[in-house]
Amino acid sequence: MALLVVSNLTKNFDGITAVSKVSFSVAQSEIFAIIGPNGAGKTTTFNLVSGVLAPDCGEIFFRGERISGLKPHEIALRGMVRTFQTISLFDTMTVLDNVKVGCHGQARTHIFSAAFRTRAFFEEEVRMTRTALETLRLLGLERRAHEMVGNLPFGQQRLVDIARALAGEPVLLLLDEPAAGMNARERSELMAIIRTLKQRGMTIVLIEHDMDLIMEIAERIIVLDHGEKIAEGKPEEIQRNPDVIAAYLGEA
Amino acid sequence: MVQGSPFTVQKLFMPGTGPRWLPYGVLILIVAAAPLVFSGRMSYYLSILSLAGIYAVVVIGLNMLMGYAGQISLGHAAFFAIGAYTSGILSTRYGLSPILCALPAVAAAGSVAVLIGIPTLKLKEHYLAMATLGFGIIMYTILRADPGSMTGGIQGMPNIPPLQILGHAADSDRAQYTIVWSTVILVFLFSTNILESRFGRALMAIHKSEVCAAVLGINVFGHKLQVFVLSALYAGFAGFLYAHCSPLKYLNPDDVAHVILSIKFVTMVVIGGMGNRWGALCGAVGLTVLPEVLRLMSSLLHGISSTDIEMACYGLILIMVMILSTRTRKRLLPIPAENTLTQHPIRQ
Ligand SMILES: Nc1ncnc2c1ncn2[C@@H]1O[C@H](COP(=O)(O)OP(=O)(O)O)[C@@H](O)[C@H]1O
Ligand SMILES: [Mg+2]
């Protein structure tokens, strides 16, 4: 049984069809990529899958459960967390606090435990801090934990963004152009991180513009163009596919 | 390394470690010193400070809603009025002991907040401002019209009994001051504890980006409703204090439910620097004391009414705050923004 099944997904924005009858499925522990020219509908697909937008048509199943129609936080709490194409960190907070926001869904204590500083509150706060620091360590950022997030260079901010998503301990991680704005060294670090996550059993769907990165890391790829899926397959199949080459040449 | 995580009595109210208790110590000292300074014939000033403390309770709650969660309410005087009138009606018309009125007063404000919050919190920014403003005006009108002959309408509601503590009526300026400001300190510490938790972080996340907060698993509407109701509970409690702990012993729609009062509360939050707890406290005291200062100076002003000047001052303050905050992103009061600091039980 596939982890994520998307069938016949369609979304129109007054007049234009951003996503048109797109179907695909992602298996457990797979690294799955969505590529395509600018405006192809990749981000919109993420918005639909994560519940940020409601589809006009089509269904989404996650871990065997129909999730289309659920609110974004309900989907996140079921184990699917995403990042955004443009970094959206909480710039009034430290790196650690940003990542602790990602732990929110795992926590159980309520306002009253916080108000009275109960034992359960402290235990949970320690647990969240530990999870956040471990996540930061995985991404090589633990030394910057107590800095304001705005003071970090752009590439590291992207990593904090990913760390915040990982702190929710997702089963499925959706990354929207995670390598955008990163230099070559940061990119190779990112690839190593994605591989580590896969080894730990996480499933990753990523949108990416960097073809070299995609071809090296993705196990399966779908290609969108003008909202439609024009190809699906392994990296080497996609590279040879004449429709894909035509779509990318059309853009250039 | 886990540092001092087990529960201790000290941590019940003191969330900070290290030197962060210092501002609380200073606050307690100032609060304790005021009755010594304003004694004898000067004790009138204590009643003004009591009023400042009562407003501070509202402002501490409103700061959670506005400064932390980024939601504006222009109708918080209505919750203040609900608390005050619930308490006033129960104690005068039904003879309930004032201290027992606290719970119904707070509960009434909270229940109305749930009813108002569910439809209005789905609205964004200025729509929310308009909706809460409308609610405030409706509340004011109801209290004036007095449909069930309960509130006394524009004549107001006189002879509200003072709080009874250990068999003594807390009737003097000093007693009222002590009750009010002990409560303010407790409420302040309480709020600090609430905000320095995942709840506070979630509110700040919602302030920055609702979509981003939602995809991280935060129930945006649920949190907005919680903080709205929480701030209304604070306002309701402050209303209860106003009914029984101010020298007037008198409620009137113009004093407790007027739109101007709602705007005053918002100004107090804004002047303190949104999201700054100490600033909110200073804003409440500063703006309550301001009219008194103006009144003292009114003999120098030959014929200009001090309330006109007061209103002009609010306008001026708001304009200054807006200009300063957009141009330099600095706060008017030189107090560090505290919402950037939350406690981390683990130190490296
Ligand atoms: N919220 C929106 N409102 C209107 N049009 C949108 C919206 N989001 C995306 N679009 C349009 O949908 C199409 C696909 O956009 P998008 O999914 O962002 O593309 P990609 O991420 O593949 O570059 C584009 O033509 C874009 O202008
Ligand atoms: Mg995109």
Instruction: Tell whether A126 is within 8 A of chain B (Cβ).
Output: yes
Q: Residue B316: its pLDDT value, please?
A: 82
Enter the ipTM: 0.93
Residue range(s) defining the domain that contains residue A65: 1-79+171-252
Hey, is the C-beta of A82 within 8 angstroms of any chain B C-beta?
yes
Among B2, B212, B340, select the one facing A84 at the smallest CB separation: B212
Supply the pLDDT for residue B337: 40
pLDDT tops 60 at residue B11: no
A122 and B346 in contact by Cβ < 8 A?
no
Distance from CA of A13 to the nearest CA of B (A): 19
Element (H, E) at B10: helix B10-13
Question: Is A189 in the same domain as A224?
Answer: yes
Helix axes B220-244, B44-63, angle to 10 degrees: 170
For range B263-288, the mean pLDDT: 89
State in Å: Cα A50 to ligand 2 middle: 14
Are residues A235 and A251 located together in one domain of the fold? yes
Mean pLDDT: which of B97-106, B150-159, B168-177, B292-301 is highest? B97-106
Among B15, B212, B219, select the one facing A117 at the smallest CB separation.
B15
Q: What gap in Å lies between CA B250 and CA B248, rounded to an integer?
A: 5
What percent of chain B clears pLDDT 70, i.e. is strictly above it? 85
- Examine the pLDDT at B288 and tell me if it is beyond 80: yes
Q: Looking at the structure, do residues A191 and A214 belong to the same domain, yes or no?
A: yes
Mean pLDDT for the stretch of residues B306-322: 76
Question: Is the model's pLDDT at B14 over the cut of 50?
Answer: no
Please say which residue of A150, A169, A188 terminates a domain.
A169
- Pair (A123, A186) in one structural domain: no
Q: Contact B198/A148, CB-based, under 8 Å?
A: no
Q: What is the pLDDT of residue A34?
A: 96
Mean pLDDT within B39-60: 91
Residue with the bigger pLDDT between B335 and B158: it is: B158
Q: Is B18 on the interface with A (CB under 8 A)?
A: no
Q: Is A42 in the pocket of ligand 1 (CB under 6 A)?
A: yes
A18 CA → ligand 1 middle, Å:
6
Counting residues of chain B whose pLDDT is more than 90, the rounded percentage is 54
Nearest to A73 among B218, B337, B348 (CB): B218
Quickly state the pLDDT bin for B15 (edges 50, 70, 90).
very low
What is the structure's pLDDT at B332?
Answer: 38
Whose CA is closest to atom 7 on ligand 1?
Answer: A13
B125 falls in which pLDDT band (50, 70, 90)?
Answer: low
Residue where the block lists tokens 């940003």: A98
In chain A, the number of structural domains is 2
B60-74 mean pLDDT: 93
**Cβ–Cβ gap B344/A164 under 8 Å:** no
B343 close to A (CB below 8 A)? yes
Give pLDDT tens digits for B242-263: 999 988 889 999 999 999 999 9
pLDDT value at residue B240: 97
Instruction: Using a CB–CB cutoff of 8 Å, tell me whether A196 touches chain B.
Output: no
**CA of B207, closest CA in chain A: separation in Å?**
9
pLDDT band at residue B324 under the 50/70/90 scheme: low
- The confidence score (pLDDT) of residue B10 equals 36
Find the A192 Cα to ligand 1 centroid distance in Å.
30
Interchain contact, B12 vs A129, CB within 8 Å? no
Residue B24: pLDDT band by 50, 70, 90 thresholds?
confident
For the residues B191-207, what does the mean pLDDT come to? Answer: 94
Q: Which of A76, A92, A109 sits opposite B339 (nearest CB)?
A: A92
Q: Is the CB of A37 under 6 A from ligand 1?
A: no
pLDDT of residue B147: 83
- Residue among A24, A2, A27, A22 at smallest CA distance from A11: A22
Joined tokens for residue A75: 């989907």
Residues A71, A179 share a domain: yes
Q: Compute the C-alpha angle B121/B122/B128, nearest 5°.
A: 55
Nearest CA to ligand 1 atom 16: A41
Whether pLDDT at B348 is above 70: no
SS3 at position B169: strand
Q: What is the pLDDT of residue B305?
A: 76
The residues near B288 (Cβ < 8 Å, ≥ 6 apart) are B48, B51, B52, B55
Q: Give the DSSP H or E segment for A220.
A: strand A220-225
Name every chain B residue with its beta carbon within 8 A of the beta carbon of A104: 198, 201-202, 205, 216-218
CB of residue A102 inside a 6 A radius of ligand 1: no
Q: Do A164 and A175 fall within a single domain?
A: no
pLDDT tens sequence for chain A (252 residues):
799 999 999 999 988 999 999 999 999 999 999 999 999 999 999 999 999 999 999 999 999 999 999 999 999 999 999 999 998 899 889 999 999 999 999 899 889 999 999 999 999 999 999 999 999 999 999 999 999 999 999 999 999 999 999 999 999 999 999 998 888 999 999 999 999 999 999 999 999 988 888 999 999 999 999 999 999 999 999 988 998 888 887 765
Distance CA B131, CA B140 (A): 14
Reading the block at residue B61, the tokens are 């709650």
> Nearest 5°: CA angle at B162, between B161 and B167?
110
Is any ligand 1 atom within 6 A of the Cβ of residue A197?
Answer: no
Q: What is the CATH number of the domain that holds A17?
A: 3.40.50.300
Across chain B, mean pLDDT equals 84
pLDDT of residue B75: 94
Task: Output the pLDDT for position B138.
Answer: 96
* Residue A195 pLDDT: 95
Looking at the structure, tell me whether residues A40 and A13 fall in a common domain. Answer: yes
B2-9 contact pairs (CB < 8 A, 24+): B2/A126, B2/B345, B2/B346, B3/B345, B3/B346, B3/B347, B4/B345, B5/A122, B5/A123, B5/A125, B5/A126, B5/B345, B6/A119, B6/A122, B7/A117, B7/A118, B7/A119, B7/A122
Indicate the domain borders of chain B: 44-258
What pLDDT, on the 0 to 100 scale, is given for residue B63? 95
- Comparing B324 with A138, the larger pLDDT belongs to A138
Contact (CB<8Å) B218/A128? no
Residue B59 has pLDDT above 80, yes or no: yes
| A119 shares contact with chain B (CB less than 8 Å) | yes
Residues of A in contact with B345 (CB under 8 A): 122, 125-126, 129
Strand-pairing partners, residue A65, are: A62
Taking the CA of residue A19 as reference, the ligand 1 atom at the shortest distance is 14
Q: Is ligand 1 within 6 A of the CB of residue A47?
A: no
